[in-house]
């Protein structure tokens, strides 16, 4: 496929109210894309939209407040976006959430919320917009997975399950749509976003221990959302099937998992002072 053309296209971005989604919104606008921004936080969404409009008054910027944890509402949203924005040429499935704690400490409701936002919403929105995207031979889909879609960390079972799932979804979809619609799966590592700050702790978990873990892991989050967004947009333009962001926190673990698929956990734990194990202070 030819390179993706941003200028004049319309991009739907989920999780646009902060972090990578906010940075992607600005990066897409800088490249001439009209925007449909989706987030559950109206105040954050309005702030991002206002900033983009102020900088790019000639672009269309629409906002949609939606909680992607509501399955029926998300399915309806996909249908609505396709009807209201048939000009869409890019879908960026960026929204995500997590919850800290071991599986035995989590309620099924907590597990389901992560799976709904991080996995099912990606499938639902992509399915809803796919007819529109297929109508444009230059269209593209982005699925933001995680480094936890490459290696599995304890204390993050729902998140890991979802991120491995969207990785498989994106790769299978890329093969199905080859030559018609491009698909990029993104594996960010060590991005300084709100997800680690906002993550709730499991109902049955030790909150004090979790806060210690959160602080330790937070020290690894050194890549700015703006840098991550630029890497993603370069990958989209070049139709790359996979984008890894961060050498120490993404590329090195990816190589290690390939080399030691059954033993990478012990090696990564020793290498990084055991950030893989949230149970350790």
4 is catalytic: no
Question: What is the bridge-based pairing of β-strands 34-39 and 140-144?
Answer: unpaired
Task: Map residue 79 onto helix, strand or coil.
Answer: helix
Mean pLDDT of the chain: 90
Asked if pLDDT for residue 83 goes beyond 80, the answer is yes
User: For position 265, what pLDDT does the model report?
Assistant: 83
* Percent with pLDDT over 70 in the chain: 86
Average pLDDT over residues 245-251: 86
Q: Confirm if 146 and 159 have CB atoms less than 8 A apart.
A: yes
What are the E-state strand segments in the chain?
Answer: 10-14, 34-39, 61-65, 88-93, 140-144, 182-188, 242-245
Q: What is the pLDDT of residues 190-235, one digit of tens each?
A: 776 666 566 677 777 666 555 555 555 555 556 899 999 999 999 9
* Percent with pLDDT over 90 in the chain: 74
Q: Which residues contact 28 (CB under 8 A, 6 or more apart)?
A: 6, 11, 13, 35, 90, 233
pLDDT band at residue 76, thresholds of 50, 70 and 90?
A: very high
Range 10-271 has CATH code 3.30.360.10 = no
Composition of the chain by helix, strand, coil, percent to 5: 50, 15, 35
What residue ranges do the domains of the chain occupy?
10-271
User: For position 200, what pLDDT does the model report?
Assistant: 73
Q: Which one from 4, 6, 159, 264 is the annotated catalytic residue?
A: 159
């Amino acid at each position: 496929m030819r390179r993706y053309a941003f200028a004049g296209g319309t991009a739907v971005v989920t999780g646009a109210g902060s972090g990578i989604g906010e940075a992607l919104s600005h990066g897409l606008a800088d490249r001439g894309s009209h925007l449909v921004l989706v987030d559950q936080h109206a105040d954050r969404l309005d702030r991002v939209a206002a900033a983009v409009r102020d900088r790019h008054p000639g672009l269309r910027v629409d906002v949609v407040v939606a909680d992607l944890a509501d399955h029926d509402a998300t399915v309806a949203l996909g249908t609505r976006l396709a009807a209201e924005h048939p000009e869409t040429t890019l879908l960026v499935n960026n929204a995500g959430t997590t919850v800290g704690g071991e599986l035995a400490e989590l309620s099924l409701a907590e597990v389901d919320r992560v799976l709904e936002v991080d996995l099912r919403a990606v499938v639902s929105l992509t399915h809803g917009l796919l007819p529109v995207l297929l109508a444009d031979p230059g269209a593209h889909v982005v699925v933001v997975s995680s480094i936890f879609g490459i290696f599995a960390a304890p204390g993050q079972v729902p998140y890991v399950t979802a991120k491995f799932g969207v990785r498989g979804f994106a790769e299978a979809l890329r093969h199905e749509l080859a030559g018609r619609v491009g698909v990029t799966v993104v594996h960010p590592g060590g991005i300084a976003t709100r997800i680690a700050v906002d993550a709730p702790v499991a109902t049955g978990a030790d909150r004090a221990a979790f806060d210690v873990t959160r602080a330790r892991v937070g020290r690894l989050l050194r890549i700015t959302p703006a840098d991550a967004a630029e890497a993603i947009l370069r990958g989209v333009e070049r139709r790359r099937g996979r984008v890894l962001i961060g050498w120490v926190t993404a590329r090195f673990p990816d190589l290690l998992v390939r080399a030691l698929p059954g033993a990478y956990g012990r090696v990564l734990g020793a290498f990084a002072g055991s950030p893989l194990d949230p149970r350790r202070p």
